[in-house]
C-alpha cells in the first residue's frame, strides 16, 4: 500500500436546475443533471502518524478550516482511524462559481484517505458522511454524470453526450445560501422526468436560481449577453456565478472583452466518469 496519493477533484456543471420545494429544515428540494468537467483541483496526501491532520495554506479564497480538513476529520472520527495526513490542495477551480469545487475537494479527500488509512468505508457510508459536508459531495463520490434529486442524495446515472463547453466565471462570486434564501426565488417547479431530459439534454429546462443570481450579480447577465451575441445559448451553473454554453464541433468562443479583468473564460470537455470512480466499495458489508 502506498503512503501518498495525488488525486484530482473535477468540477461539475448543472445542465439544468429546478427547485421543486423546500424541506422543513429550510433546505431546498431540487431536480438537476450534474455533469463532470475536465477542469480540476489537485490534492496531495501523505500519511502521518498519530492522527495529526494538516493542510498547506492555499490563500484567502479558501477558509483555513476548509472542506478538505473537515472531510478528513469526519472520516477519522467515523472510521476511528489512528493515522493522520498532511494534505496539499492545488486550487485551480474558481470559488463561489456553482461548479462544486469545495464539494469535489471533500469527495476526493474522503476517497483518498479511505484508501491511505485503509479504513474500508463503503461508498454508501462515505456518501452519508459527504452529505453532511455539502449537498454536492455524494454526486462526486458516486462519480458518474447523474440526474440528482432531493437535496443531492438521490442520484441516478444518466448519459450525457460527450462534447465541449465554454465556461465563463465573472470576478464576483455568489454565496449559495444567499441565493436560496432570497424571497424572489421560484420554489414550485413541476416535477420533471428523465426521459424529458434525455430527449434534449443540452436544452432541457432552466436554472431556477438564475434570475435571483442575475439580480444579485449583474456580471452573470453580462456573461450571458456575451455568449448570446455569439449565438451561444448560455445558462448559469448551480448557484453561480459561472455560466456555460455547449460548443459545436470545431467552434471556439470569441476572445474575452479587453475590459474583463479578473474574468475566466475557459473551454472544457465533459467527463463520462470521475477519475476516482470505483475507489470505494459499493458493498456495504465491506464497511466497518
Reply yes or no on whether 136 is catalytic.
yes
Reply yes or no on whether 159 is catalytic.
no
First and final CA of the chain: distance in angstroms? 19
The nearer residue to ligand CDM, 27 or 260, going by C-beta atoms, is 27
- Phi/psi-derived region of residue 44, left when phi > 0, alpha when psi is between -120 and 50, beta in every other case: beta
Piece in contact with ligand ATP (CB under 6 A), picked from 48-56, 102-110, 157-165, 201-209: 102-110
- Does residue number 151 form part of the binding site for ligand CDM (CB under 6 A)? yes
Q: Are 258 and 99 in contact, with CB atoms under 8 Å apart? A: no
> According to the 3-state scheme, what is the secondary structure of 11-65?
EEEEEEEEEEEECCCCCEEEEEEEEEEEEEEEEEEEEECCCCEEECCCCCCCCCC
Binding residue for ligand CDM (CB under 6 A) from 30, 36, 97, 217? 30
151 contact choice in ligand ATP, ligand CDM, none (CB below 5 to 8 Å, kind-dependent): ligand CDM
Please provide residue 110's backbone torsions phi and psi, each rounded to the nearest 5 degrees.
-60, -45
Contacts of 164 (CB under 8 A, 6+ apart): 246, 247, 249, 251, 267, 268, 269
* Residues in a beta bridge with 273: 144
Q: How many CB atoms lie within 10 A of CB 58?
A: 17
The nearer residue to ligand CDM, 125 or 210, going by C-beta atoms, is 210
95 contact choice in ligand ATP, ligand CDM, none (CB below 5 to 8 Å, kind-dependent): ligand ATP
- List the catalytic residue out of 41, 66, 105, 136: 136
Q: Which residues bind ligand ATP (CB under 6 A)?
A: 62-63, 66-68, 95-103, 105, 134, 136, 176, 238-239
Q: Which residues bind ligand CDM (CB under 6 A)?
A: 14, 17, 26-28, 30, 32, 98, 103, 134-136, 151-152, 176-177, 180, 238-239
Catalytic residues: 12, 136
> Which residues are annotated binding-site positions for ATP?
94-104
Amino acid at each position: 500500500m502506498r503512503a501518498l496519493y495525488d488525486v484530482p477533484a473535477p468540477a461539475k456543471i448543472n445542465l439544468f436546475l429546478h427547485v421543486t420545494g423546500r424541506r422543513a429544515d429550510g433546505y431546498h428540494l431540487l431536480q438537476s443533471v450534474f455533469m463532470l468537467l475536465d477542469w480540476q483541483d489537485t490534492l496531495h496526501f501523505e500519511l502521518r502518524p498519530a492522527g495529526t491532520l494538516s493542510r498547506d495554506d492555499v490563500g484567502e479564497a479558501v477558509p483555513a478550516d476548509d472542506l478538505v480538513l473537515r472531510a478528513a476529520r469526519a472520516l477519522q472520527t467515523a472510521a476511528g482511524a489512528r493515522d493522520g495526513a498532511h494534505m496539499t490542495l492545488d486550487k485551480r477551480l474558481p470559488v463561489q462559481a456553482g461548479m462544486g469545487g469545495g464539494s469535489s475537494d471533500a469527495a476526493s479527500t474522503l476517497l483518498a484517505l479511505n484508501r491511505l488509512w485503509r479504513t474500508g468505508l463503503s461508498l454508501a457510508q462515505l456518501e452519508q458522511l459527504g452529505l453532511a459536508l455539502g449537498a454536492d459531495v455524494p454526486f462526486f463520490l458516486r462519480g458518474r454524470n447523474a440526474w440528482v434529486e432531493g437535496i443531492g442524495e438521490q442520484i441516478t446515472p444518466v448519459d450525457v453526450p460527450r462534447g465541449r463547453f465554454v465556461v465563463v466565471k465573472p470576478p464576483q462570486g455568489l454565496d449559495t445560501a444567499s441565493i436560496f434564501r432570497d424571497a424572489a426565488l421560484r420554489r414550485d417547479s413541476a416535477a420533471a422526468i428523465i426521459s424529458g431530459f434525455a430527449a434534449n439534454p443540452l436544452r432541457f429546462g432552466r436554472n431556477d436560481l438564475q434570475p435571483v443570481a442575475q439580480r444579485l450579480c449583474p456580471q452573470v447577465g453580462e456573461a450571458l449577453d456575451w455568449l448570446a451575441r455569439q449565438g451561444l445559448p448560455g445558462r448559469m451553473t448551480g448557484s453561480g456565478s459561472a455560466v456555460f454554453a455547449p460548443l459545436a464541433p470545431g467552434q471556439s468562443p470569441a476572445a474575452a472583452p479587453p475590459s474583463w479583468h479578473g474574468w475566466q473564460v475557459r473551454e472544457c470537455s465533459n467527463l463520462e466518469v470521475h477519475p476516482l470512480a470505483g475507489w470505494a466499495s459499493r458493498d456495504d458489508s465491506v464497511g466497518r
